Amino acid sequence: MSVLEPRRYLCHRARSPIEIDGRLDDPAWQEAPWTEDFVDIEGDRRPKPRYRTRAKMLWDDEFFYIGAELEEPNVWATLTEHDSVIFLDNDFEVFLDPDSDSHLYYELELNALTTTWDLLLNRPYKDGGTPISNWEMPGLRTAVWIDGTLNNPLDTDRGWSVEIAIPWTAIMEPRDRPDASGRPPSTWRPSEGTTWRVNFSRVEWDVTIEGTKIRKVPDRPEHNWVWSEQGVIDMHRPEHWGYVQFTLLPPGQAAFHEDPSREARAALHEAYYALHDHRRAHGRWPEALAELGLNSRLPLALHATPSLFEVHCPVTYPDGSRHVWAIRQDALVWEVSS
Amino acid sequence: MSLAWALATLALSSPTLPREYLCFRATGEIRIDGRLDDPAWATAPWTEDFVDIEGHKRPKPRYRTRAKMLWDDRFLYIGAELEEPHVWATLTRRDSVIFQDNDFEVFLDPDGDTHQYYELEMNALNTLWDLMLIKPYRDGGPAVFHWDYRRIRTAVHVEGTLNDPKDEDRGWTIEIAIPWNDLFEHQSQIPQDDSPPPTPWRPSEGTTWRLNFSRVEWDVEVANGSYRKVQGRPEHNWVWSPQGAIDMHRPEQWGYLQFTEKPPADARFVPDPAKPARQALHRFYYAARAYRERHGSWPRTWKEAGLTDPPPAEVLSFRVHTTPSLYEARATVRYPDGTTHVWVLLNDSKILEVKK
């Protein structure tokens, strides 16, 4: 079993205002590097996406900015109602897990008509999570710019670009409350080195041209092109999302700081999947992790009840400090306080 | 165990608690205008008068509050009547902290597992605060304030004058229509509009939910011709199903709301056959929390949790399985029909039946 390397991105401050109009032509964007080109959700064993997709990010005191560029010869979209199942059209999707625990994370989908679906997941679907669509991102700003024509198959388009401004207040809300004065606490926005887990996904359907209409080819699954490879056709494995690290330093002076818990997290997730595989096959958790043949070199300890488990993983950080990380049967990851 | 807790436990173990309500189908249209004068309401019985949130150890509320419910293919209808000589309200922005005004509150946990439940608060200006709780606050929540009852309908009728201390009012009445489509919006089978959802995303005969109502009442005085809260006084909390503590976020104490399709004369409330298991498991839950605070670990048995009297006779076995941070408690319970069932409570208070 290979260990996927999540992508990494250093997110700089926007040094001038960003107008959310779908065009990434604001001067501030020039300082933001592009992400890697998106790859198939399953990674290298699948062909390279036929159209290029890439993104950029910036931040300021109010917003997390995302800009994306989607190469596309036939820009089309049909859904106009907020909170529709947007991925039934071609779409661009954002996934955010601010505290990296793989629970309580956010998803935003939008199509080329700028119709949005914003939702909250209490935990991943595989762990019994429910998509909470009546959750809203108040103050969210989105715009799409089409380099070509929408829903017109008679010409070849160059693509569409997306600009998104997510207010910190909209996404940190369930985690923390404003103080008595109503001001959001300063913990709602990143500080130097704050690291979130983020992924982007693009859903692309095969289409045919029928007269003046663009139609989906029936019975073909969608393509899923993503920034940080998931290994399987499932975006809801937040442990594979990229690392986005916020910095106040200007480009050139800032360096990405690796997550010192990454090896422990990978080992814990390997154990988590193996434990669930074992339970599916045998109807119960194993007596010991040794039965599972894990690759990890880290010493893992299993504690289980008939329906629950926690696996502990002690790890020494590069600075010599010792920490214990843990995962639960519902994929929650946390640092065990000593 | 503190004396207060012992008394609360005693009060809450009396047979009529949690409260029970049999909810009939609306036999006609209900216009949401705040007045409970639609003919359909006449068939709906009133709940018991509300009592103090802590139960009988506290004085009876000084103003009467009661509610009724009805249902149809699209909505749960709630009507409430709040006796009040001084109807006042100040908050006008949705999702304000409405209980800073006098308010009426609805708590709903459709599947009765004590997780992922809904709260609605409204004042006499018909301003709403609607939110969802992932878990109770005691288990880490969080409360999701940006969750909305998107298709809800609410109205208030003031029997008297709003914010006018010169006269004495009779009170205010409330009408609420909660769409099934909002409660189950996370299910993919739910229509995106107001049309009725398929079953099981609306009740059928015997469907039983957990629900409570709360009324927050502040002591007020008149200053410069307007109402003003008396400074430094806590609010009163008057509820339908007493909580035993000043905490609405104990869904296990909420009332049972049972839906029926039968006409009132033929319908009868069917008590929850799992109630002895639920009550034993929740007693263990609170005892285990207290034990962990003292010892840093979970108790491994009912007795080790400090529970001296045995679980109720219907509970045939009670087992606890622990890890350093988790536990599950399993109660095997005999139902009145002779069948046995296993109910499980997890350390975050989630409670559910497991298939044997």
List pLDDT tens digits, range A264-297.
999 999 999 999 999 999 999 999 999 999 988 8
Structure tokens at A298: 């880290």
Residue carrying structure tokens 């994306």: A68
Q: Which domain holds residue A282?
A: 262-336
pLDDT band per the 50, 70, 90 thresholds, residue B11: very low
Using a pLDDT cut of 90, give the percent of chain B over it: 88
The answer to whether residues A27 and A143 belong to one domain is yes
Distance from C-alpha of B16 to C-alpha of B18, rounded to nearest angstrom? 6
Contact B220, B227 (CB under 8 A): yes
Digit-coded pLDDT (tens) for A8-56: 999 999 999 999 999 999 999 999 999 999 999 999 889 999 999 999 9
Residue where a domain stops, chosen among A215, A246, A277: A246
Residues of B in contact with A310 (CB under 8 A): 323-326
The answer to whether residues B116 and B64 belong to one domain is yes
Tell me the H-state helices in A161-236: 168-172
Taking the CA of residue B276 and the nearest CA in chain A, the distance in Å comes to: 22
The answer to whether residues B89 and B114 belong to one domain is yes
Give the model's pLDDT for residue A45: 86
Of A306, A310, A312, nearest to B328 by CB-CB distance is A306
Give the model's pLDDT for residue B13: 45
Question: Looking at the 3D structure of chain B, how many domains does it have?
Answer: 2
Q: Does B152 touch chain A if contact means CB atoms closer than 8 Å?
A: no
The answer to whether residues B325 and B243 belong to one domain is no
Q: Which residues pair with A262 in a beta bridge?
A: none
Q: Who's near A182: CB < 8 A, 6+ residues apart? A: none
Range B319-347 average pLDDT: 98
Structure tokens at A133: 């669509």
Q: Are B150 and A132 in contact (CB < 8 Å)?
A: no
The answer to whether residues B169 and B20 belong to one domain is yes
Q: Does A133 touch chain B if contact means CB atoms closer than 8 Å?
A: yes
Q: Who's near B105: CB < 8 A, 6+ residues apart? A: B99, B119, B120, B121, B122, B213, B214, B215, B216, B248
Single pTM value for the model: 0.93
State which residue of chain A sits closest to B145, comparing Cα positions. Answer: A174
Range A99-121 average pLDDT: 96
Q: Does B145 touch chain A if contact means CB atoms closer than 8 Å?
A: yes
Give the model's pLDDT for residue A173: 67
The answer to whether residues A331 and A279 belong to one domain is yes
Mean per-residue pLDDT over chain A, rounded: 93
Q: How far is CA A32 from CA A68, A94, B16, in A?
A: 12, 18, 65
pLDDT at B247 over 50: yes
State which residue of chain A sits closest to B321, comparing Cα positions. Answer: A305
**Which of A104, A136, A305 best tests the B interface by mutation, with the highest count of B CBs <10 A?**
A305
How much is the CA Rg of chain A, to the nearest whole Å? Answer: 21
- Residue A95: what residue type? F
Q: Does A82 touch chain B if contact means CB atoms closer than 8 Å?
A: no
pLDDT at A180 over 70: no
Taking the CA of residue B354 and the nearest CA in chain A, the distance in Å comes to: 10
Is position A252 within any domain?
no
Beta carbons within 10 angstroms of residue B334's beta carbon: 16
Consecutive H or E run containing A263: helix A262-282
Distance from C-alpha of A265 to C-alpha of B289, rounded to nearest angstrom? 29
Q: Does A307 touch chain B if contact means CB atoms closer than 8 Å?
A: yes
Q: Are A174 and B148 in contact (CB < 8 Å)?
A: no
Q: Does B267 touch chain A if contact means CB atoms closer than 8 Å?
A: no
Distance from C-alpha of B170 to C-alpha of A73, rounded to nearest angstrom? 68
Q: Write the DSSP string, B214-226.
A: EEEE--EEEETTE
**Which of A85, A106, A134 best tests the B interface by mutation, with the highest count of B CBs <10 A?**
A134
Cα dihedral A78, A84, A90, A91 sign: positive
Q: Are B134 and A174 in contact (CB < 8 Å)?
A: yes
Chain centroid offset of residue A213 CA: 32
Give the model's pLDDT for residue B75: 97
How much is the CA Rg of chain B, to the nearest whole Å? Answer: 21
Residues of A in contact with B147 (CB under 8 A): 120, 132, 134-136
Q: Which domain holds residue B297?
A: 275-354
Mean per-residue pLDDT over chain B, rounded: 94
Q: Are A134 and B185 in contact (CB < 8 Å)?
A: yes
Taking the CA of residue B148 and the nearest CA in chain A, the distance in Å comes to: 5
Digit-coded pLDDT (tens) for B275-297: 999 999 999 999 999 999 999 99
Distance from C-alpha of A161 to C-alpha of A163, rounded to nearest angstrom? 7
pLDDT band per the 50, 70, 90 thresholds, residue B317: very high
3-state secondary structure of A116: strand
Q: Does B147 touch chain A if contact means CB atoms closer than 8 Å?
A: yes
Provide the CATH number for the domain around residue B201: 2.60.40.1190
The answer to whether residues B180 and B252 belong to one domain is yes
The answer to whether residues A198 and A313 belong to one domain is no
- Residue A338: what residue type? S
Is position B264 within any domain?
no
Residues of A in contact with B322 (CB under 8 A): 305
Digit-coded pLDDT (tens) for A222-265: 999 999 999 999 999 999 999 999 999 998 899 999 999 999 99
State which residue of chain B sits closest to A335, comparing Cα positions. Answer: B325
Is position B144 within any domain?
yes
Range A114-130 average pLDDT: 96
Is position B269 within any domain?
no
Size of interface A-B (CB pairs under 8 A): 82
